[in-house]
A and B are shown apart, each in its own frame.
Chain A
Amino acid sequence: NAGVMQNPRHLVRRRGQEARLRCSPMKGHSHVYWYRQLPEEGLKFMVYLQKENIIDESGMPKERFSAEFPKEGPSILRIQQVVRGDSAAYFCASSRDHSAGELFFGEGSRLTVL
């Protein structure tokens, strides 16, 4: 499967725990984006990364959320001390060219905070 791979697909955490979501972009894509989808809402941009660099994190909450895209391995979205309001679907997307516009999305990671 040459598509964007996300795991886990479903994650359940208790309040205060950490959630770690992983994303492997499509082959040949060096631009990675994380979007969050709350129930009955559209997707909201969170962060844009290239290898080893955070390019735009204007959509990331100021606290508890962080993202990385290391030289080797998948991009990781990390949520510390989760709260119920973090329950959402988190989608990763990748593109070959940031200015081209076409994003390829993964199937998402659905986080439930108890």
Chain B
Amino acid sequence: QQQVKQSPQSLIVQKGGISIINCAYENTAFDYFPWYQQFPGKGPALLIAIRPDVSEKKEGRFTISFNKSAKQFSLHIMDSQPGDSATYFCAASMTGTASKLTFGTGTRLQVTL
């Protein structure tokens, strides 16, 4: 019941295109949904996060869309750039233990010129 499923496993997008990564969760007690970005050899870094009281959150070129009834959330990267090439992880956690995250398996994004 703690699983977070992430897709696709890998993604190739042309520069300027839109990158879309999807996640689905099972545990309805989850109420905090962050996305982390990880470059090779580095630790994950928080990119953007959402709570279920809103259906969308935008920060610059990054947008999280959240569908509570479907138990799904997605990351959209607009105007994708080569510097966005990294592995992206969705995650979920519960109120009171928001820092104890359940991670998806990651999406390796490559943005080509």
Mutual binders A and B: yes
- Any B CB within 8 A of the CB of A12: no
Most chain B beta-carbon contacts within 10 A, residue among A45, A103, A106: A103
Pairwise interchain contact A99-B95, C-beta atoms closer than 8 A: yes
- Any B CB within 8 A of the CB of A108: yes
Pairwise interchain contact A99-B98, C-beta atoms closer than 8 A: yes
Pairwise interchain contact B101-A100, C-beta atoms closer than 8 A: no
Number of A-B contacts (CB under 8 A): 71
Pairwise interchain contact B44-A43, C-beta atoms closer than 8 A: yes
Pairwise interchain contact A105-B44, C-beta atoms closer than 8 A: yes
A84-114 contact mask (Cβ, 8 Å, vs B): 1 or 0: 0000000101010111111111111000000
- Docked CA distance A100–B102 (Å): 15
Q: Which of chain B's residues have a CB closer than 8 A to the CB of A31?
A: 99
- Any A CB within 8 A of the CB of B58: no
- Any A CB within 8 A of the CB of B83: no
Pairwise interchain contact A101-B43, C-beta atoms closer than 8 A: no
Which B residue sits closest to A31, measured CB to CB?
Answer: B99
Interface size on B, as a range, is 20 to 34
The size of the chain A interface, using a CB distance under 8 A, is 27
Lowest 6 CB-CB distances: which A-B pairs, in order?
A105-B43, A101-B98, A42-B103, A42-B105, A43-B103, A101-B32
Q: Which residues of B contact A (CB under 8 A)?
A: 4, 6, 32, 34, 36, 41-46, 49, 89, 93, 95-106
Q: Given A45-B101, A100-B98, A107-B41, list of 19 further CB < 8 A pairs? A: A41-B105, A42-B103, A42-B104, A42-B105, A45-B100, A48-B99, A48-B100, A91-B43, A95-B99, A98-B98, A99-B99, A100-B99, A101-B34, A102-B46, A104-B46, A105-B36, A105-B43, A105-B44, A107-B42
